């Protein structure tokens, strides 16, 4: 079998599984995690009764009155997501988290490290079960879209692989909404022209682009198993960075930090504006002899506040700069960018910070960059 380098992981009934792990009384029972009057998630025991995410809690009570209804504990979910990440990062440095409970692992070029990728994935599942106490489903394939589909087929608590030789047999007979880009509205449009299965999409290339334009073409490519706008290749993920050459060489610490803060401000809001998050942050300095020095840090999660971003950048700067040597330039760069999704039904501190960031960005778009700024207080 050809090497299948892409793995999609998705924790099973994530919030409910964490509740069941923390409270043994809930294990094996229908558990419904509620937030803002709707179901955040239901354990598989509750799903048997028809309870679904997004459903009003009163409706879930009718469908499954014997369920345990619990209030979500976002801090615990973040903690468990972090524990899962700790396990995953021992297997590959290329982890693209889409949200707290799912993402892609990229094993491209790892054929020799993992000659049997399925065996490696079994190990990942076992380690998450042992070390974190919840279960994960894994989909393995040669593209991101197929790995995600495979993961859906593996659920719950399973593992599924789609290879070039079994792709048609497995995927083509499935309903079209297995593909990305097909929500309820697109589904209705396509059903009207007798497109129900993935194989129907493969037979309707022209109709798709005629009716849905570029969107239709992208759906067609997904049906072929090719990644496009929804899932980008690792190579396409760029970095965002800025650097500045000082008008005069300097070792004035206040001046250098002020410039660093300006750069952090630009890079940070550029990242946020594009709905991205990043895994690595680097600071570079250039000496007067044009030699460069860089210090990079890999982070568990992308800072959501400029102050936090700047704090890390300043620490990195002080690791490579003795505060005495005269400098010519300084730079800040973020690497390993992925699209971030802030999907959460809870209004929490994170939502508040995201709203503040969005407001700052829209004020700047209207009134210019200097219309609103954080004050920099120097402490070192
Ligand atoms: P999902 O991965 O969609 O669902 P799940 O992990 O509960 O179940 P499974 O993957 O086995 O199908 O979402 C992950 C978590 O995100 C989920 O546990 C709760 C939260 N969530 C919401 O808060 N609201 C929602 O509408 C959805 C879909 C998820
Ligand atoms: Mg999940």
Highest mean pLDDT among 103-117, 158-172, 299-313: 158-172
Mean pLDDT value of segment 209-223 = 92
Query: How far, in Å, from the CA of 288 to the mean position of ligand 2?
Result: 52
Whole-number mean pLDDT of the chain?
91
Ligand nearest to the CA of 100: 1
Q: Does the pLDDT value for residue 103 go beyond 70? A: yes
Query: How far, in Å, from the CA of 198 to the mean position of ligand 2?
Result: 24
Whether residue 155 has its Cβ less than 6 Å from ligand 1: yes
Q: Does the pLDDT value for residue 344 go beyond 80? A: no
pLDDT at 346: 63
pLDDT at 347: 67
pLDDT at 152: 96
Ligand 1 atom nearest the C-alpha of 33 is 19
Quickly tell me which residue has 């049997």 as its tokens.
116
pLDDT bucket at 94, cuts 50 / 70 / 90: confident
pLDDT at 87: 95
Whether residue 13 has its Cβ less than 6 Å from ligand 1: yes
Distance CA 218, CA 236 (A): 17
pLDDT at 379: 55
Percent of the chain at pLDDT > 90 equals 67
Taking a 5 Å cut-off on Cβ, the residues next to ion ligand 2 are 10-11, 14, 101
Query: How far, in Å, from the CA of 39 to the mean position of ligand 1?
Result: 10
Task: Choose the weakest-confidence range: 69-78, 259-268, 270-279.
Answer: 270-279
Each residue's pLDDT tens digit, 111-124? 888 999 999 999 99
Whether residue 14 has its Cβ less than 6 Å from ligand 1: yes
pLDDT at 62: 97
Pocket test for ligand 1, best of 80, 101, 102, 103 (most atoms within 8 A of CB): 101
Asked if 365 is an active-site residue, the reply is no
Q: Does the pLDDT value for residue 137 go beyond 60? A: yes
pLDDT at 219: 94
pLDDT bucket at 234, cuts 50 / 70 / 90: low
Task: Answer with the residue of higher pLDDT: 285 or 369.
Answer: 285
Whether residue 53 has its Cβ less than 6 Å from ligand 1: yes
Ligand 1 atom nearest the C-alpha of 10 is 10
Kindly report the pTM of this predicted structure: 0.68
Mean pLDDT value of segment 217-225 = 94
Q: Does the pLDDT value for residue 235 go beyond 80? A: no
Contacts of 146 (CB under 8 A, 6+ apart): 6, 139, 162, 167, 171, 225
Query: How far, in Å, from the CA of 281 to the mean position of ligand 1?
Result: 29
pLDDT at 324: 95
pLDDT bucket at 273, cuts 50 / 70 / 90: confident
pLDDT bucket at 230, cuts 50 / 70 / 90: confident
pLDDT at 267: 95
Each residue's pLDDT tens digit, 57-69? 999 999 999 999 9
pLDDT at 59: 97
Query: How far, in Å, from the CA of 14 to the mean position of ligand 1?
Result: 6
Whether residue 43 has its Cβ less than 6 Å from ligand 1: no
Ligand 1 atom nearest the C-alpha of 345 is 23
Whether residue 20 has its Cβ less than 6 Å from ligand 1: no
Distance CA 116, CA 4 (A): 9
pLDDT bucket at 341, cuts 50 / 70 / 90: low
pLDDT at 257: 95
Whether residue 15 has its Cβ less than 6 Å from ligand 1: yes
Among protein residues, the one with the nearest Cα to ligand 1's atom 24 is 40
Query: How far, in Å, from the CA of 45 to the mean position of ligand 2?
Result: 15
Percent of the chain at pLDDT > 70 equals 94
Q: Does the pLDDT value for residue 145 go beyond 90? A: yes
Each residue's pLDDT tens digit, 355-364? 888 899 888 8
């Amino acid at each position: 079998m050809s090497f299948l380098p892409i793995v999609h992981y998705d924790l099973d009934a994530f919030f409910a599984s964490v509740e069941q792990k923390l409270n043994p009384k809930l294990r094996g029972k229908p558990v419904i995690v509620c937030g803002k009057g709707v179901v955040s998630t239901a354990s598989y025991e509750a799903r048997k009764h028809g309870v679904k995410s997004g459903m009003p809690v009163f409706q879930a009570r009718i469908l499954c009155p014997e369920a345990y209804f619990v209030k979500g504990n976002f801090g615990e979910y973040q903690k468990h997501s972090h524990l899962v990440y700790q396990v995953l990062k021992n297997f590959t440095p290329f982890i693209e988290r889409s949200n707290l409970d799912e993402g892609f692992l990229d094993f491209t070029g790892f054929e020799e490290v993992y000659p049997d990728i399925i065996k490696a994935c079994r190990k990942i599942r076992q380690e998450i079960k042992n070390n974190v106490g919840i279960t994960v489903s894994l989909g393995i394939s040669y593209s991101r879209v197929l790995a995600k589909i495979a993961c859906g087929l593996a659920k719950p608590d399973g593992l599924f692989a789609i290879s070039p030789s079994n792709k048609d047999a497995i995927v083509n007979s499935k309903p079209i909404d297995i593909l990305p880009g097909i929500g309820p509205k697109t589904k209705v449009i396509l059903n009207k022209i007798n497109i129900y299965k993935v194989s129907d999409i493969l037979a309707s290339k022209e109709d798709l682009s005629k009716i849905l334009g570029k969107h239709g073409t992208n759906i067609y490519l997904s049906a072929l198993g090719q990644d496009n706008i929804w899932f980008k290749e690792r190579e396409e993920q760029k970095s965002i960075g800025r650097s500045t050459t000082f008008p005069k060489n300097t070792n004035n610490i206040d001046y250098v930090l002020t410039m660093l803060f300006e750069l952090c401000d630009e890079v940070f809001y550029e990242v946020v504006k594009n709905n991205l998050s990043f895994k690595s942050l680097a600071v570079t300095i250039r000496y007067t002899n044009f030699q460069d020095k860089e210090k990079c840090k890999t982070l568990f999660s992308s800072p959501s506040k400029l102050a936090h971003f700047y704090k890390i950048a300043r620490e990195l700067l002080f690791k490579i700069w003795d505060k005495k040597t005269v400098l010519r330039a300084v730079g800040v760069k973020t690497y390993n960018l992925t699209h971030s999704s802030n999907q959460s039904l809870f209004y929490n501190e994170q939502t508040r910070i995201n709203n503040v960031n969005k407001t700052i960005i829209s004020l700047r778009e209207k009134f210019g960059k200097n219309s609103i700024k954080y004050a920099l207080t120097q402490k070192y």
